[in-house]
Amino acid sequence: MAGSVYAEVDAASRVATLWIDNPERRNALSVEMWRSIPEVVAQIELDPAVQVVCVRGSAGLFSAGADISEFGTERSGAASAAYDRLTEAAALAIAQCRLPVVALVEGYCFGGGVTLAVACDLRFGVEGCSMSIPAARLGTLYPHAALERLRGLVGAGVARYMLFAAPRFDAGAMLQAGLAERVFSSGAVAAKAIADMARLAPLTQQGAKLQLGGTLDGSELEELSARIFASADYAEGVAAFGEGRKPGFKGR
């Protein structure tokens, strides 16, 4: 199998990195790589040491997109619908992860790479990176669920431009269009910003993600609020503020 997707956990920083690793093909995503993403996300979610997830490509490249060499067999005729279901299952696993997920975008982020990045909660770009959806250059149809997620992030106008004209957005254009929330000078600086996030209150972050998902009804929102305000982390945050020290959150 060419390429792999795997998790690397740094217990000290409480960050798990989901690595897209296929450098010989610029981290293009094979069928087996797409298929393994939900399994890797589930593995990360079970690790109590993890507070924030980072999605990143090896060798300084996020992903050149889906592996075009497989399109003749895996994305042709009736097989194309199954392929789209596979890629959406991967994106959905990232979008529905209970933990905050940040895409650390270095180098190329094209096509299927954009699908994964947009499924994350945040996108941190690195100077020199770029995003593009080249579907119109290949004659393919961008998956509907991925397109809807993109439209929800950047609006219909930018989504149309990306799909109709297939431009390449550099880091500045990504920031302006809403494809990235921050742009950093290097991958190391971006990774530090992600680690800094993992020092904050995990119950607050996870609660905010649930709220922003828009699926909780009134009673569920009340229950969420009651649970967080009754937590040891809330007591620790208030105490640390009063004592002028940094809080030590435990996620409980």
Q: For residues 228 and 105, state if they share a domain.
A: no
Average pLDDT of the residues in 140-144: 93
Tell me, what DSSP letter sits at residue 20?
Answer: E
Arithmetic mean of pLDDT, 232-240: 93
Containing 44, the helix (H) or strand (E) segment is helix 31-45
Residues 153 and 208 placed together within one structural domain of the fold = no
Bridge partners of 130, per DSSP, are 108, 170
Q: Residue 159: pLDDT band by 50, 70, 90 thresholds?
A: very high
Is there a single domain that holds both residue 191 and residue 98? yes
| Total number of domains in the chain | 2
Same domain (yes/no): 184, 213: no
Domain-located, residue 252: no
Residues 135, 225: one domain? no
Supply the DSSP symbol for 141.
-
Categorize the per-residue pLDDT at 66 as very low, low, confident or very high, splitting at 50, 70 and 90: confident
State the residue range of the domain holding 94: 4-197
Does one domain contain both 98 and 210? no
Mean pLDDT of 122-135: 98
The yes-or-no verdict on residue 1 having pLDDT over 70 is no
Query: Does 34 fall in a domain?
Result: yes
- The band of 73, judged by pLDDT with boundaries at 50, 70 and 90, is low
- Interval 175-234: pLDDT, tens: 999 999 999 999 999 999 999 999 999 999 999 999 999 888 999 999 999 999 999 999
Q: Residue 76: its pLDDT value, please? A: 62
Considering the domain architecture, whether residues 60 and 152 belong to the same structural domain is answered as yes
Question: In the listed set 159, 176, 197, which residue is the last one of a domain according to the structure?
Answer: 197
* DSSP SS3 for 12: coil
Q: Are 18 and 105 in the same domain?
A: yes
Instruction: Assess whether 8 and 124 both reside in one domain.
Output: yes
How far apart are alpha carbons 59 and 98 in whole angstroms? 28
Q: Is residue 250 part of a domain?
A: no
Residue 193 sits in the same domain as residue 227: no
